[in-house]
């Protein structure tokens, strides 16, 4: 794609600004252009709006996008696509609210393909995205006319990208059936262990499990381990996340699920802040990690293939097809699309087809 859209360099400049934000600095951080005051104030407001969106989680998301929005990375991502030729679309974006800035990739895909966005945020995830949009508009004022937010009914639109649960997806599929659409459902992250992982790899797996309290669709919620697997090294790697039990919502979920499992007589391993339960399911509750044992690696590969419709991300060694390295589940490349659906290609084709119809 030959980049013509002004959003490209606005995103590059945004990335430069985000890379200047310290990841763990506890001192107040004043960032010019924040509409609600300094960044510390914004992070506090975000936490008050949604207690799952801790300062640490928000800074992780902001730092991730700072690294992702480099000119070379954006250029490499877009190089495989044709330059937009169709009429600009008005794209409705209905965003999930499970982790900070979860819908930002959809927004930049819309902008870089020359289109406009009408955004409906999750009710408890509005502040950070509006902050980034404001920063983009500071670099490219033209974008103020191409990005809008709504809390009520969507206005006229040409296409829609909607993300929600498996239950809400049925409503989305019905309601948006007459428009070009991408409808996303619940998916889960899994990891496959062999028992030969290094301490560094297990430390990376801990990041994949606990980042965002395990609430992301790319968070590892299920392990496949060989029979007779020794969980002690894994629990040792997990220990640095023991502070999560002090988070009220996480602690309440942990206590509730522990009580449910105990009353049901379910055997489990418990390290005081995480429950490890043998279970066939892929999606484990907060504060819980499911696991399943296997005999042969080929058996795991076959099982993963049979469940690929429900899997967002596979973490494991290089022997595992399409595996993400340990510690990288929450750091996807720009060309890694949710549910495996190429958003940029969808937008380019929809724009081209819309132009042909007119």
- 351 and 303 inside one domain: no
- 40 and 151 inside one domain: yes
Instruction: Give the mean pLDDT of 292-296.
Output: 96
Contact indicator for 275, 257 with CB cutoff of 8 Å: yes
326: in domain: no
Q: Which two tokens stand for residue 112?
A: 């870089």
327: in domain: no
- 350 and 229 inside one domain: no
Instruction: Give the mean pLDDT of 134-143.
Output: 93
The residue with greater pLDDT, 35 or 206, is 206
Instruction: Give the mean pLDDT of 216-240.
Output: 97
Instruction: Give the domain extent around 126.
Output: 7-186+338-357
pLDDT band at 34 (very low <50, low <70, confident <90, very high): very low
Query: Which pTM does this prediction carry?
Result: 0.92
The secondary structure of 143-180 as a DSSP string is GGGTEEE-SSS----SEEEEE--HHHHHHHHHHTTTS-
Cα–Cα distance measured from residue 216 to residue 330, given in angstroms and rounded to the nearest whole number: 8
- 197 and 278 inside one domain: yes
Task: Report angle CA 313, 319, 323 to the nearest 5 degrees.
Answer: 15
The residue with greater pLDDT, 352 or 149, is 149
Classify 357 as helix, strand or coil. helix
- 98 and 220 inside one domain: no
Residues of the chain above pLDDT 90, percent: 82
321: in domain: no
Name the nearest CA neighbour of 330 among 125, 119, 57: 57
Q: How confident is the prediction for the chain on average, in pLDDT?
A: 92
Domain count, the chain: 2
- 138 and 221 inside one domain: no
- 127 and 207 inside one domain: no
Statement: residue 90 has pLDDT above 80:
yes
Domain CATH code at residue 135: 3.40.605.10
pLDDT value of position 87: 86
- 64 and 110 inside one domain: yes
The secondary structure of 63-80 as a DSSP string is HHHHHH--HHHHHHHHTT
Statement: residue 33 has pLDDT above 90:
no
- 352 and 286 inside one domain: no
Cα–Cα distance measured from residue 80 to residue 260, given in angstroms and rounded to the nearest whole number: 50
Q: How would you classify the pairing of strands 90-94 and 288-294?
A: unpaired
The residues with which 311 forms a beta bridge, in sequence order, are 188
Contact indicator for 119, 107 with CB cutoff of 8 Å: yes
pLDDT value of position 253: 98
Cα–Cα distance measured from residue 314 to residue 218, given in angstroms and rounded to the nearest whole number: 8
Rg (the chain; Cα; Å): 21
Cα–Cα distance measured from residue 307 to residue 247, given in angstroms and rounded to the nearest whole number: 32
The secondary structure of 181-209 as a DSSP string is EEEE---EEEEE--S---HHHHHHHHHHH
Structure letter (DSSP) for residue 314: E
- Range of weakest confidence among 5-9, 108-112, 235-239: 5-9
pLDDT band at 173 (very low <50, low <70, confident <90, very high): confident
pLDDT band at 291 (very low <50, low <70, confident <90, very high): very high
- Range of weakest confidence among 34-38, 117-121, 147-151, 243-247: 34-38
Name the nearest CA neighbour of 288 among 265, 271, 263: 271
């Amino acid at each position: 794609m030959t980049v013509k859209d002004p959003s490209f360099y606005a995103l590059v400049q945004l990335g430069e600004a985000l890379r200047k934000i310290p990841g763990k600095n506890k001192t107040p951080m004043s960032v010019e252009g924040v509409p609600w005051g300094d960044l510390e104030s914004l992070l506090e407001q975000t936490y008050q709006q949604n207690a799952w969106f801790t300062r640490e989680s928000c800074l992780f998301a902001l730092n991730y996008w700072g690294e992702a929005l480099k000119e070379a990375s954006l250029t490499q991502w877009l190089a495989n696509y044709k330059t937009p030729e169709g009429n600009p679309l008005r794209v409705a974006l209905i965003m999930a609210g499970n982790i900070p800035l979860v819908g930002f990739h959809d927004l930049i895909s819309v902008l870089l393909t020359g289109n406009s966005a009408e955004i409906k945020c999750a009710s408890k995830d509005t502040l950070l995205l509006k902050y980034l949009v404001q920063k983009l508009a500071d670099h490219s004022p033209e974008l103020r006319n191409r990005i809008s937010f709504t809390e009520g009914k969507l206005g006229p639109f040409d296409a829609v990208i909607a993300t929600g649960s498996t239950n809400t997806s049925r409503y989305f599929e019905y309601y948006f059936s007459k428009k070009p659409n991408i409808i996303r459902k619940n998916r889960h992250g899994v990891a496959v262990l062999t028992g030969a992982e290094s301490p560094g790899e297990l430390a990376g797996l801990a990041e994949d499990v606990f980042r965002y309290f395990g609430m992301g669709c790319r968070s590892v919620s299920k392990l496949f381990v060989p029979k007779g697997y020794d969980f002690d090294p894994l629990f040792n790697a997990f220990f640095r996340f023991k502070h999560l039990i002090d988070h009220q919502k996480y602690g309440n979920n942990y206590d509730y699920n522990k009580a449910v499992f105990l009353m049901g007589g379910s055997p489990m391993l418990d390290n005081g802040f995480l429950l490890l339960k043998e279970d066939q399911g892929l999606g484990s509750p907060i504060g819980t990690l499911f696991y399943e044992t296997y005999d042969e690696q080929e058996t795991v590969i076959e099982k993963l293939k049979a469940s690929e419709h429900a899997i967002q991300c596979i973490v494991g060694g290089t022997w595992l097809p399409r595996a993400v390295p340990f510690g990288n589940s929450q750091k996807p490349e720009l060309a890694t699309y949710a549910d495996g659906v190429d958003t940029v290609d969808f937008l380019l084709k929809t724009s081209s087809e819309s132009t042909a119809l007119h």
